[in-house]
Amino acid sequence: MVVPSASGREMAPESLPLGIIPVVDMSSAATGRGELAHQLVRACAERGFFKAVNHGVPPRVSARLDAASSAFFARPARAKQAAGPPDPLGYGSRNIGANGDVGELEYLILHADPTTVASKASVIDAEDPSRFSVAVNEYVDAVRRLACQVLDLLGDGLDLRDSSSLSRLISAANSDSLLRINHYPTSTANLQGPDGRTCTVEDAKSGSNGAKGSIGFGEHTDPQILSLLRANDADGLQVLLPADGHGGGDKWVQVPADPAAFFINVGDLLQALTNGRLVSIRHRVMASTSRSRLSTIYFAAPPLHARISALPETVTAGTPRRYRPFTWSEYKKAMYAHRLSHNRLDHFRAPDNDATDDDTNS
């Protein structure tokens, strides 16, 4: 793993400047797995986020899904709306959830399961539903393997007795993982507003037509275990990182676009599983008036019944359990009950005197 400095030089992760995003070469696992594992833990503990290069996901697989997604978003509004409304799966536009969050985007949310994908494919690609299904399923298979590789390496770096315990949560047959495809149009493209009227990104910037702000997707953390994001060459993603080491506040840092890379971040569940050692990072996407942005995010999640509890290796007398055990289903209910920016993990904090955790995850 190497990390670019602000001046473009390469440096070891031990000297990682605050505000810089780690870059991880995943191909080095074969020759230096132990070192790569510890570098991943460091990146996820200090930043909660890293850029994965040489990740092994074939470019043709990504290109096929991008083509299928772009074809869908280019369809007339009425045809796209037939794939919605999001409940939470399906097509949506501007409204993000049921609690008043809006953004300057349209999106598709699909369960990462071939049967569910097939049920939506007939309205997403009416001409050839199997074309869309094949593109999605190939992509999901590839990114799931990458997610499992990352989690296994994190298990090694955390010195877990069972280093595959994290990846098994997302590789289970009844995993609740999702695929979200976001399209942020330019200022010349119209989107349906929450009141049914049409607005553009320019309207959003000016505050006219019922739209406010220039946020494409508002500040939030991801609730699942791990998120793997890939986007086209349009900027927009920002992450909240420490500004300096002298008491300064946190700072929004622009993430330069790289369509060949994956941007991987820790989710709330992984923060809870590691007792806060790995951090779920806050991030957002800014709307652009000149470039459209297409991004695809694989949210790696466990089965609904999975019990999320701090791994025994992360709990000691000096580091008592920070969160009480809960199921993914319970956490999802809390997620849907609050706005995007809400800190959902606060509702699952353990009592102050709960210093040990002998529970295991199922």
Tokens 């652009």, residue located? 288
> Positive or negative, the Cα torsion across 190, 194, 195, 201?
negative
Tokens of 331: 């956490």
Could you tell me how far CA 329 lies from the centroid of its own chain? 18
pLDDT of 206 above 50: no
Average pLDDT of the chain, as a whole number: 86
> Positive or negative, the Cα torsion across 140, 145, 151, 157?
negative
Determine what percent of the chain is predicted with pLDDT higher than 90.
74
pLDDT of 5 above 50: no
Summarize pLDDT for 153-193 with one digit per residue, the tens. Answer: 999 999 999 999 999 999 999 999 999 999 999 855 555 54
Q: How far apart are CA 94 and CA 221, in angstroms?
A: 19
Tokens of 349: 């904090």
Q: Characterise 327 by phi-psi region: left (phi > 0), alpha (psi -120 to 50), beta (else).
A: beta
Per DSSP, the residues of 298-324 read EEE---TT-EE---GGG--SSS---B-
Q: Is 266 helix (H, G, I), strand (E, B) or coil?
A: strand
Considering only residues 294 and 360, tell me which one the structure prediction assigns the higher pLDDT. 294
What residues form DSSP beta bridges with 106? 93, 183
Average the pLDDT over each of 108-122, 137-151, 237-251 and give the range with the smallest value. Answer: 237-251
Which residues are CB-neighbours of 284 under 8 A, at least 6 positions away?
Answer: 215, 216, 217, 218, 219, 220, 237, 238, 252
Is CATH 2.60.120.330 the right assignment for the domain spanning 23-190+211-348?
yes
For the chain, how many helices (H) and strands (E)?
9, 18
- In angstroms, how far is the first alpha carbon of the chain from the final one? 33
**Highest averaged pLDDT of the listed ranges 16-20, 206-210, 285-289, 329-333:** 329-333
According to the model, what pLDDT value does residue 199 have?
Answer: 43
How is the chain split into domains, by residue range? 23-190+211-348
Q: How far apart are CA 184 and CA 294, in angstroms?
A: 6
Summarize pLDDT for 51-100 with one digit per residue, the tens. Answer: 999 999 999 999 999 999 999 999 999 999 999 999 889 999 999 987 88
Q: How confident is the model at residue 28 (pLDDT cuts 50, 70, 90)?
A: confident
pLDDT of 354 above 90: no
Tokens of 337: 């009950």
What is the pairing mode between strands 250-254 and 293-300?
A: unpaired
Q: How confident is the model at residue 151 (pLDDT cuts 50, 70, 90)?
A: very high
| Residue 22 and residue 14 in contact, taking contact as beta carbons nearer than 8 Å | no
- Tell whether pTM > 0.85: yes
